[in-house]
Amino acid sequence: MTAARLLVTAETREWANVAAREATGYAASVIGCDAEAGIERELSPEESPDGRPGLSLLMFAFSRDALQKAVVNRVGQCILTCATTACYNGLPPVKDKSIRVGGNLRFFGDTFQISKKLDQRRFWRVPVMDGEFVCEDVFGTVKGVAGGNFLILGESQAIALAAAESAVAAIGKIPGVICPFPGGIVRSGSKVGSRYKKLKASTNDAYCPTLRGLVDSALPEGVNAVYEIVIDGVDLSAVESATRAGVEAACRPGIVRISAGNYGGNLGPYHLHLHKLLS
């Protein structure tokens, strides 16, 4: 998938967080969303483009065109509208591999917008009611890796959830990745296809405890809850590091097994084999 990094700043950490949460909402899976998105990390004062509090966001889509549409819509609806914010590119722009964000949003200025060029980077200053919204013109993209996953099989819902929370916290320390689902955790893991012809994906019945005896279950004895961690990264190495950190953090008392969705190779060319990865 194609990925972009957005650097969002504001006058306070609280407002930067508001903008980041809004912009990355409804972005769990491209099965039903325009993008997969999440907060990568907080920016240090040295990393902030304008010296203000800020956060780094990652957004992923199937193509560069789809990503541009999603990023422009999300920045326009959720960051431009948020008090005191600005939005900057966080990846090196490469010719024919970039998307236009500020250049599309500038029209909101109704001819009163102004562009400034600094060190070969163009920024748009759009007048708004609390001052100006500054947005970089062009954002770089990379070919990222999305959909890395592992499954946490626990003795109870509480045990499995605590392990999943530990995994997400460990993954949060790895640069270049996000866990796009709510709280970084998936309770509704899916399989490819469905008995309903119109659906691309449906519940992963082999891992549903309530369906034991009705389907070909993949659950060992003693497992009563499963959570999935899905990881998107700017490259394969980042996803591998995040998977390793997450699996190790999830290995706690009451966890019966760590597994992963296989899907017969139908989801893409990258296969992360857990035993090999952890060795």
Q: CB count, 10 Å around CB of 168?
A: 20
User: CATH number of 2-142: 1.10.630.10, 3.20.20.210, 3.30.2320.80, 3.30.70.520?
Assistant: 3.30.70.520
Residues 209-264: pLDDT tens digits?
Answer: 999 999 999 999 999 999 999 999 999 999 999 999 999 999 999 999 999 987 77
Output the six-digit token pair for 202: 């449906």
Residues 71-92: pLDDT tens digits?
Answer: 999 999 999 999 999 999 999 9
pLDDT, residue 31, reads 87
**Mean of the pLDDT values across residues 169-187?**
98
CB 201 within 8 A of CB 194: yes
Q: For residue 198, what are the CA distances in angstroms to 19, 32, 195?
A: 35, 13, 9
Instruction: Quote the mean pLDDT of the chain.
Output: 96
CB 116 within 8 A of CB 132: no
Read off the pLDDT band of 152 (50, 70, 90): very high
**Mean of the pLDDT values across residues 172-190?**
97
Torsion of CA 266, 173, 189, 23, to 10 degrees: -90
Residues 97-134: pLDDT tens digits?
Answer: 999 999 999 999 999 999 999 988 999 999 999 999 99
pLDDT, residue 130, reads 98
Share of residues in the chain with pLDDT > 90 (%): 90
Query: Amino acid identity of 3?
Result: A
Q: b vs e for 122-140, b when ≥16 Cβ sit within 10 Å of the residue's Cβ?
A: ebbbbeeeeeebbbbbbbb
Read off the pLDDT band of 278 (50, 70, 90): very high
**Mean of the pLDDT values across residues 143-171?**
97
Residues forming beta bridges with residue 42, ordered by sequence position = 55
Could you tell me which of 64, 72, 57, 140 has the C-alpha nearest to residue 102? 72
pLDDT, residue 165, reads 98
pLDDT, residue 268, reads 77
User: 144-278, what's its fold?
Assistant: Alpha-Beta Plaits (3.30.70)
Rounded Cα distance, 1 and 58, in Å: 12
CB 131 within 8 A of CB 210: no
Rounded Cα distance, 226 and 155, in Å: 9
Q: What is the DSSP letter of 79?
A: I
Query: Amino acid identity of 138?
Result: V
pLDDT, residue 270, reads 86
pLDDT, residue 228, reads 98
CB 35 within 8 A of CB 71: yes
Residues 7-45: pLDDT tens digits?
Answer: 999 999 999 999 999 999 999 999 899 999 999 999 999
Strand locations in the chain (E): 2-9, 36-42, 54-61, 86-89, 98-100, 114-118, 121-128, 131-136, 138-143, 145-154, 177-178, 190-192, 201-203, 225-233, 255-259
Reading phi first (left if > 0) and then psi (alpha if -120 to 50, else beta), residue 96 is in left
Q: Where are the domains of the chain?
A: 2-142, 144-278
Rounded Cα distance, 196 and 223, in Å: 28
The answer to whether the 2-142 and 144-278 domains have the same CATH topology is: yes
Could you tell me which of 17, 61, 3 has the C-alpha nearest to residue 235? 3
